[in-house]
Structure 1
Amino acid sequence: MTAALERYAFALAPLAAAALWGGMYVVSKWGFALIPPVTLGFLRVALGATVLWLVVVGRGGAPPTRAEWPTFAALGGWVTLTVATQFVGTELTSASQGSLLTVLTPVFTVALGALVLDERVTAAKAGGMTVAGVGTAVVLAGQYELASIAAGNLLGVALLLVGSAAWAGYTVWGLRAVRRHGALRAATYSSLASVPLLGTLAVGELWYLGVSPAALPLTVESVGAVLYLGLASTAAAWFLWYKGLAYVSAGTVAVFFFAQPVVGAALGAALLGEALGSGFLVGGALMAVGIWIVSRERADSVAESAGPTAE
């Protein structure tokens, strides 16, 4: 594979991450019924971080230096805020609200990229984002009664908004860490840094609910949910998301997030027997066009200035 093709392939890595996150919503329907949301989030990240760390160690990677840990600790804070608010917010709201509100992440990411990183929002990027956003809205409108989306739990809605903004923060402030330390290292140690924080929140949640950790169900469904969330939607997806940042801007990576609810709807139909709305094909096509427009905006200059990318 030529260097140009390899760079383009890795620039599309966030699309694979979004597809894995689309499956996360289907799996979460099983998980939340068995394990409280913050505790499930802790198990997810603990497993994913452990797997990433084993990969780093297996490849002979050195542990972070004292100078590196503050960066990873800060990113771990973004991870903690994202997972806790996203999972609790999803628990308090409906699938339609969760799907709609989480796709605001690209909007937050582009805005933060412009404010924090001085990324230029080109006409093509803005147009592609708009087309992809309209496509996602069409898919959701076909799946749900949009009039009922605003009628849910206001606290849940607020938490989902915070979660969307927090993931945008993890993306934008993680860009320099990816360029300096590599995608695998940044994803691994930011995840590890969040484990004690999420663990503390999980202990508080179980205490508040009066649930003993020993009483959590050990079933095929609960183990399967944790394995998918930890291995696929955390270890693999977070690495792929950061791998994309090694080659393109935060704003360009953000557009791939629009694929998440489309994949979720398709998997819901395939695995849960849910009916696809009439606008699924039209909305999916619009989303694909929007992603294609923005993906052509990949910045070779960014790739040339990138830090370690061999990971």
Structure 2
Amino acid sequence: MSHHRAHLWPGVPLALGSAVLFGTSAPLTKWLVDSVDPWLLAGLLYLGAGVGLAFVHAGRRLIGLSDSEAPLRGSDLPWLAAVVVLGGMLGPLLLVLGLSQTTASSGSLLLNLEGFATMAIAWIVFRENVDRRLLAGAGAILAGALVLSWSGEGVRLDFGSVLIAAACLSWGIDNNLTRKLASVDPVQIATIKGLVAGSTNLVLALALGAAPPTLGLIAAGGVVGFLGIGVSLVMFVLSLRHLGAARTGAYFSLAPFIGAALGLLLFGEPMTPQLIAAGLLMAIGVWLHLAERHEHQHIHQALEHEHAHVHDEHHQHTHGGDVTEPHSHWHAHEPMRHTHSHYPDLHHRHGHS
């Protein structure tokens, strides 16, 4: 495998898989929100994710699969609390409220703003390297969102669109904070996030008078939440480990295209020139992100941390006996200088001049 293809694996497929699952969940959520209170549905989706992943975690132990992931530590808890509130409670609530007041295809395409928000925060606040190609791609995505909101007399942002944009901002912050947890077991993170955020929103919605849904709707919401949020989140966290927040958010921008296409099929919404133009602009943005190549001579400083790994060029330490790979333990990295294609993963968060 060439260096260029090697550095794309497995981060890019994980990000794209996460995007497909989450994108599929948007029109299905639109379908459910017509029958379930929006706040209750937000809780149901995340609770479905948490319960489903809890069974996955328990089943993994039951059948004797080795756990190669690093556990949560006390220092991770503040970051976990922040992502639960922003990404698990506020973001989904704003999304379902927004979807209840706009079309499924438009709502799905507006979700592209999550990738833009993620990249902007990663670049401005966390100082991840973002080159001109990534900036051009982000500009195309933003232009697509503006075209989608154009009313003929100016940019029209109805209340539903504003709520979805606010959800994207909340998730953009969440994605960057989750980067701090990228070395930890993603199933454990997503399970806690789903259970805590989902049960909290569910209890609040019922306390405020939301009507309990039927068993069929509960089951449907649970399945959509497990796949579209739970499994998608696990893949997203794993991708953060390999790509960093800006690029994972960029690849994740495929999600709205999946959602918009399904929205057209499920709800018979019209294929308007405005929708096509917005989709083309956003597709150009995603292509610019996919075509990026970042390679230069760089220095690895001495580093100690814990995460799942194999003994590749960045992990040349020894063990007292035979080990299976991948495995997780606290390990040290010696200083190193070399050149290869890379993203700002766990081992390449250096600065650029």
TM over 0.5: yes
Q: Is the 8 A contact 1:73 1:193 kept in 2?
A: no
Q: Which has the higher strand share?
A: 2
Give the match for residue 105 of structure 1.
Answer: 114
**Are the structure 2 counterparts of residues 115 and 291 from structure 1 closer, same or farther at C-alpha, using a change threshold of 3 Å?**
same
Q: Is the 8 A contact 1:37 1:91 kept in 2?
A: yes
CA distance in 1 between counterparts of 2:9 and 2:282 reads 19
**Residue 255 of structure 1, CA deviation:** 1.9
Amino acid at match of 2:344: V
Q: Is the 8 A contact 2:79 2:180 kept in 1?
A: no
Is 2:347 the counterpart of 1:305?
yes
Give the match for residue 15 of structure 2.
Answer: 14
Question: Which of residues 230, 235, 243 in structure 1 aligns to 2:225?
Answer: 230
Amino acid at match of 1:124: R
**Are the structure 2 counterparts of residues 37 and 280 from structure 1 closer, same or farther at C-alpha, using a change threshold of 3 Å?**
closer
Give the match for residue 162 of structure 1.
Answer: 166
Structure with the bigger RCO (C-alpha within 8 Å, sep 6+) is 1
**Are the structure 2 counterparts of residues 297 and 175 from structure 1 closer, same or farther at C-alpha, using a change threshold of 3 Å?**
farther
TM-score by length of 1: 0.78
Larger radius of gyration: 2
Q: Is the 8 A contact 2:186 2:234 kept in 1?
A: yes
Question: Which of residues 76, 83, 90 in structure 2 aligns to 1:81?
Answer: 90
Question: Which of residues 78, 82, 85 in structure 2 aligns to 1:70?
Answer: 78
CA distance in 2 between counterparts of 1:195 and 1:66 reads 23
Q: Per the alignment, in what secondary structure is the counterpart of residue 215 of structure 2?
A: coil
Show structure 1 runs of 5+ residues with no match.
Answer: none
Amino acid at match of 1:71: W
Q: Per the alignment, in what secondary structure is the counterpart of residue 114 of structure 1?
A: helix
**Are the structure 2 counterparts of residues 39 and 185 from structure 1 closer, same or farther at C-alpha, using a change threshold of 3 Å?**
same
**Residue 125 of structure 1, CA deviation:** 0.9
* Number of residue pairs the alignment of both structures matches: 293
Question: Which of residues 263, 268, 274 in structure 2 aligns to 1:268?
Answer: 263
CA RMSD of aligned residues (A): 3.3
Q: Is the 8 A contact 1:112 1:168 kept in 2?
A: yes
TM-score by length of 2: 0.70
Q: Is the 8 A contact 1:53 1:188 kept in 2?
A: yes
Amino acid at match of 2:21: L
Q: How does 1:79-228 map to 2 (within 5 A)?
A: 79-95=88-104, 98-99=107-108, 101-134=110-143, 140=148, 150=156, 152-153=158-159, 156-178=160-182, 180-205=183-208, 207=209, 209=210, 211=211, 213=212, 216-219=213-216, 222-223=217-218, 225-228=220-223
Q: How does 1:283-294 map to 2 (within 5 A)?
A: 284=279, 286-294=281-289
